[in-house]
Structure 1
Amino acid sequence: MTERPRPNALAWLWLTLGLIVADQLTKWWALVALQPAETPHPVIPGFLYWTLTFNTGAAFSFLADSAGWQRWFFALLAVGISGVLAVWLARTPRGDWRTSVPLAMIIAGALGNLIDRVYAAKVTDFIQVFLGSYPFPVFNVADCAISVGAAGLILFSLFQSPAKKP
Structure 2
Amino acid sequence: MNSNSLAKIWFTPTRGASNWLWLSIFVILLDQATKALVIGTVKLQDTIALLPFLEIVYLENTGAAFSIFAQASGWQRWFFIVLALGVSVVLMVWLRRIRSDQRFLAVGLSLVLGGALGNVIDRVMHGYVVDFIFFHWRSWYFPAFNIADTAISIGAGCLLIDAFRESGQEKKAGRKASGASPK
Calculate the TM-score normalised by the size of structure 1. 0.90
**Structure 2 CA distance, aligned partners of 1:101 and 1:48?**
27
- Give 1:82's aligned residue: 88
- Indicate yes or no: 2:162 matched with 1:156: yes
Residue in structure 2 matched with residue 17 of structure 1 by the alignment:
25
Q: Which residue is 2:10 aligned to?
A: none
1:101 — aligned with what?
107
- SS class of match (1:26): helix
The structural deviation recorded for 1:6 is 6.9
Indicate whether 1:41 and 2:48 are aligned. Answer: yes
Q: How far apart are the structure 2 equivalents of 1:88 and 1:80? A: 12
Give me the whole-angstrom Cα distance separating, in 2, the residues matched to 1:156 and 1:133. 35
Residue among 66, 74, 81 paired with 2:72: 66
Q: Conserved in 2, the CA contact under 8 Å of 1:9 and 1:93?
A: yes
- Counterpart position of 2:60: 54
Gaps of 5+ in 1: none
| 1:28 pairs with one of 24, 36, 40 | 36
- The alpha-carbon deviation at position 89 of structure 1 amounts to 0.6
Deviation at 1:17, TM superposition (A): 0.4
Counterpart contact for 2:14–2:97, Cα < 8 Å: no
Contact 2:38/2:58 (CA < 8 Å) preserved in 1?
Answer: yes
Structure-1 separation of matches of 2:139 and 2:100? 43
Distance in 1 of aligned mates of 2:131 and 2:15: 37
The runs of 5 or more residues in structure 2 that have no matched partner are 1-12, 178-183
Q: CA RMSD in A?
A: 1.6
* SS at structure 1 position matched to 2:169: coil
Q: Is the 8 A contact 1:6 1:93 kept in 2?
A: no
Alpha-carbon separation, structure 1, partners of 2:14 and 2:81: 33
| Deviation digits for residues 86-111 of structure 1 (CA, Å, limit 9, x no counterpart) | 11111111221110000000000100
Question: What TM-score do the two structures reach when normalised by structure 2?
Answer: 0.82
How much has 1:43 moved relative to structure 2? Answer: 1.1
Give 1 or 2 for the bigger CA radius of gyration: 2
Matched residue pairs, number? 160
Moved over 2 A (4+): 163-166
Give the equivalent residue in structure 1 for 2:135.
129
CA contact (8 A) 2:15 2:97 kept: no
